[in-house]
Amino acid sequence: MKKNGQAGFSLLEMMVSMMIMLILMGIVTSLLSQNLGIRARESQRTDALTSAEAALNVMSREIANSGFGIYTGTNARLASNGIITSDSNATQIHFRANVYNDGPANTTAGVLTTDDPGEDITYFFDASTNSIVRFDPNDSPHTSVVVNKISSVTFTYFDYSGTSSVGTQTTTPTANTGQVQITVLVKLDPVQGQPNPSDVQFTSAVTLRNSPYMLNQY
């Protein structure tokens, strides 16, 4: 019924209008949720990768110093790469360095004083916490987590002998090991509404500059 020349909306028109508005609101909400999910995924990815890179840099620097200030031999001073071969493998590396350059430097027994913080270090992967752990018996605390949310960490060793510049790859180190390759897989948590992310791999090739082979190159 018309009154004063004005017409109202019918119930059907109002229902159609409400349906259109609900559809538009659903589309906007879906797009907003998707954008927030992408943002959360990328933020998590950036944080995880940044932490892993920083941890890899710390590990590389310390491992590169392995063998510093250490020598072996009875009649001659023979360089040592510093790796404790009996306690190192594909998932763990134990090495020593005489960072403070102290000990029996004038004896033939070798400089073996590595009882200061940062001189006797073990890195290993802890599967129960998905983290890389650093163990130093001379520091306090002895154990610290370098980085977490890691899928795995592996150590690959390259042995050098004679004058050959080509290393022999192995999963266990020897006295001839002159380079260590560290491979870290970063575990990214899934974000709701986003595809499951893939692990990201970082690799660092560390030259043991104090190994016998590397010292002979200078």
Q: Are 155 and 89 in contact (CB under 8 A)?
A: yes
Alpha-carbon gap, residue 207 to 66, rounded angstroms: 10
Report how many domains make up the chain: 1
For residue 207, is it within any domain?
yes
Residues 6+ positions from 166 with CB-CB distance below 8 Å: none
Give the tens place of pLDDT for each residue, 152-163.
Answer: 899 999 999 876
Give the tens place of pLDDT for each residue, 93-121.
Answer: 999 998 887 766 555 555 667 889 999 99
For residue 92, is it within any domain?
yes
For residue 14, is it within any domain?
no
Alpha-carbon gap, residue 193 to 39, rounded angstroms: 12
For residue 155, is it within any domain?
yes
pLDDT at residue 147, rounded to an integer: 85
For residue 15, is it within any domain?
no
- Sort strands 78-79 and 92-96 into parallel, antiparallel or unpaired: unpaired
How many C-beta neighbours within 10 Å does residue 49 have?
A: 14
pLDDT at residue 34, rounded to an integer: 67
Better pLDDT: 9 or 102: 102
| Element holding 71 (H helix, E strand) | strand 71-72
One-letter amino acid for residue 60 of the chain: S
User: Is residue 218 very low, low, confident or very high in pLDDT (cuts 50, 70, 90)?
Assistant: low
pLDDT at residue 159, rounded to an integer: 94
Alpha-carbon gap, residue 76 to 191, rounded angstroms: 60
For residue 8, is it within any domain?
no
| Element holding 61 (H helix, E strand) | helix 11-64
Give the tens place of pLDDT for each residue, 11-68.
Answer: 777 777 788 888 887 777 777 766 666 666 666 667 777 878 888 999 999 999 999 8
For residue 21, is it within any domain?
no
Alpha-carbon gap, residue 132 to 52, rounded angstroms: 10
Q: Could you tell me the end-to-end alpha-carbon distance of the chain, in angstroms, rounded to an integer?
A: 102
For residue 7, is it within any domain?
no
Provide the residue range defining the domain that includes 207.
36-215
Better pLDDT: 79 or 211: 211
Alpha-carbon gap, residue 119 to 139, rounded angstroms: 9
Alpha-carbon gap, residue 63 to 146, rounded angstroms: 14
